Amino acid sequence: MRVLMVASEAVPFAKTGGLADVAGALPTALARLGCDVTLVMPAYREVFSKGLPIKPTGMTLEVPVGQRRATVHVLESRLPGSDVTVYLIANDACFDRPNLYGAGQDYPDNAERFILFSRGAMELAGRLAHPFDIIHCHDWQAGLVPIYRRTLYADWPAIARSKTIQTIHNMAYQGTFWHWDMLLTGLDWKYFNWQQMEFYGQLNFLKTGLVFADAVSTVSPTYAREIIEPPGGCGLEGVLAGRPDSVTGIVNGIDASSWNPRTDRHIPRPYGEEDFADGKYAARVALAARLGHAAPDPRPLVAFVGRLVSQKGVNLVLELIGRMAGNHEGGRARFLVLGTGDGEIEHALQRAAATFPESVDVVIGFDEGLAHLVQAASDIMLVPSLYEPCGLTQLYALAYGTIPVVRATGGLADTVVDTTPDTVRDGVASGFVFEPFDSLALEQALDRALEAHSDRDGWAAMVRRVMRQDWSWDHAAREYLSLYRATVAQL
């Protein structure tokens, strides 16, 4: 099966979020299953700063954008460690910029930029030697590709029989623009209506993809259910509910070549499920030294790693720390927060660390190596998100034998099984789950986790169990391949 992956970012070329992790890892996993996968993405300035081998193809495209034609040069590379070809759509006016989408606020011409990218991807696909079975479009930035495939490029031999899949990574980001940007698409105004491309008077790229794609997927089964009704649908729930094939939810994988405690170069002592105690202690010693402590704290280490924004539930963590670190017992745990984000939240966390230095560490910023070390050193990982389409933090935690405490939403609900007498007896318990989005519910779940941690044998059994789970991309890729086959089989 030949697959064209259309994504606005991909590791290791350029990244702002989880989309890049998916687009960088899924093609390689699909290739291991026998798929012939090609990835196309923009040639941002960031791409050329990574030292990756990139060469010109000699192919130049004249891509229509409104009344003008933009010149696009096609560059070529490969995903590291694979045979997956990566084509880069180069146009300096659109992509030679310091940020992918804008700094602080979106670039005002993002509609034009990703119209150019989407049409450029189609122009390229139509000129390649062999036809594609599937064109897999990711998020709003590729949301116009399905309608282009059905209209302007419907008769191009290389893509005439291709099926399109639109994947939603986060429903909150839809690519809504001024209605007059419709002129730049090259599409007939008849499509600008409430059932297809229009959304409250604006042009909506994601809605367009959802309407015109042959199939729709998202990044977890629970999130697939959440987005077909408000508030999870962010106004597009009616579009999804009206599709007879609904939405397929497939949990993202993790890159086992990078996130694997058995081979991780960022931790002092590799470990597996049989020697996790020694490995985690070595990481704890290294982390204490990194934070400027003379020795590791003997209390359980409870961590939060992620963006410091309200959606991630970090405000609940702040309230929790204020109560637990300042109680009369001196705190039952040591807390560590690693991340960057909202300035007010950053300052509040720093004040908490200054108020409770014996129980709280806060590191503002993001360091990939430190994130690995924290996952290895911690006993418990907090992931109390308001919403979480999939989530990777809890998957990394499971891989490293760090037990997650999560809110029952999106992919968190799909990947963590709450610890109860029944789930312990059945051998499936993998963490601690709470439902209300408030700090008291989070504290109650953490209390349960700390109580379980005091049972050394029971805790060790849970750690070994979660470390044996398979959350690799190979597992996710098999589900995507099934979706591709079902989509190709559609009449």
Does residue 144 carry a pLDDT above 80?
A: yes
Residue 395 reports pLDDT greater than 90: yes
**Residues composing the chain:** 491
* Token pair belonging to 26: 């899924």
Q: Which residue would you say has higher pLDDT here, 368 or 145? A: 145
Q: What CATH architecture is 276-470?
A: 3-Layer(aba) Sandwich (3.40)
> Binning pLDDT at 50, 70 and 90, where does residue 410 land?
very high
pLDDT at 246: 78
Q: Which residue carries 């050394």 as its tokens?
A: 456
Name beta bridge partners: 6: 40, 137
The pLDDT, as a whole number, for residue 76 is 98
Q: Check pLDDT > 70 for residue 329.
A: no
Residue 41 CB contacts under 8 Å (≥ 6 apart), including other chains: 6, 7, 8, 9, 10, 13, 14, 23, 86, 87, 88, 89
Share of the chain above pLDDT 70, in %: 99
pLDDT at 389: 96
- pLDDT of residue 187 exceeding 90, the answer is yes
Residue 213 pLDDT: 97
pLDDT tens by residue, 59-94: 999 999 999 999 999 999 999 999 999 999 999 999
Average pLDDT rounded to a whole number, residues 103-128 = 96
Strand intervals (E) in 346-430: 360-364, 380-383, 403-407
| CA contacts within 13 A on the Cβ side of 294 | 1
Distance CA 202, CA 195 (A): 13
Burial class (CB in 10 A: 0-12, 13-18, 19+), 442: buried
Q: Which residues contact 437 (CB under 8 A, 6 or more apart)?
A: 313, 316, 384, 386, 407
pLDDT in tens, 205-255: 999 999 999 999 999 999 999 999 999 999 999 999 888 677 999 999 998
- Calpha distance 176→178 (Å, rounded): 7
What are 345's strand-pairing partners? Answer: none
Q: What angle do CA 43, 105, 120 make, to 5 degrees?
A: 30
In whole angstroms, what is the distance from residue 417 CA to residue 408 CA?
Answer: 10
Nearest to 42 by CA among 84, 77, 67: 77
The DSSP string of 212-264 is HSSEEEES-HHHHHHTTSTTTTTT-HHHHHT-TT--EE----B-TTTS-TTT-
- 196: its two tokens: 């297809």
Is the per-residue pLDDT at 300 higher than 60?
Answer: yes
Which regions of the chain carry the CATH code 3.40.50.2000?
A: 2-253+474-488, 276-470
Q: Reply yes or no on whether the pLDDT at 57 is more than 90.
A: yes
The answer on pLDDT for 309 being more than 70 is yes
Q: Hey, is 408 helix, strand or coil?
A: coil
pLDDT in the model for residue 331: 76
The mean pLDDT value for 435-464 works out to 97
> Would you state the structure tokens that stand for residue 150, as one six-digit string?
């059905």
| Residue 310: predicted pLDDT | 95
The model's confidence at residue 182, banded by pLDDT at 50, 70 and 90, is: very high
Read off the amino acid at residue 193: N
Fold that domain 2-253+474-488 belongs to in CATH: Rossmann fold (3.40.50)
Q: Helix, strand or coil for residue 41?
A: strand
Going by pLDDT thresholds of 50, 70 and 90, the confidence category of residue 425 is very high
Task: Give per-residue pLDDT as tens, 350-392.
Answer: 999 999 999 999 999 988 899 999 999 999 999 999 999 999 9
Predicted local distance difference test score (pLDDT) of residue 62: 97
Region 283-293: mean pLDDT is 97
Give the model confidence (pLDDT) of 3-53 as tens digits: 999 999 999 999 998 899 999 999 999 999 999 999 999 999 999 999 999
Q: Is the peptide bond before 231 cis (omega within 30 degrees of 0)?
A: yes
What is the spatial distance between Cα 338 and Cα 346, in angstroms, rounded to a whole number? 10
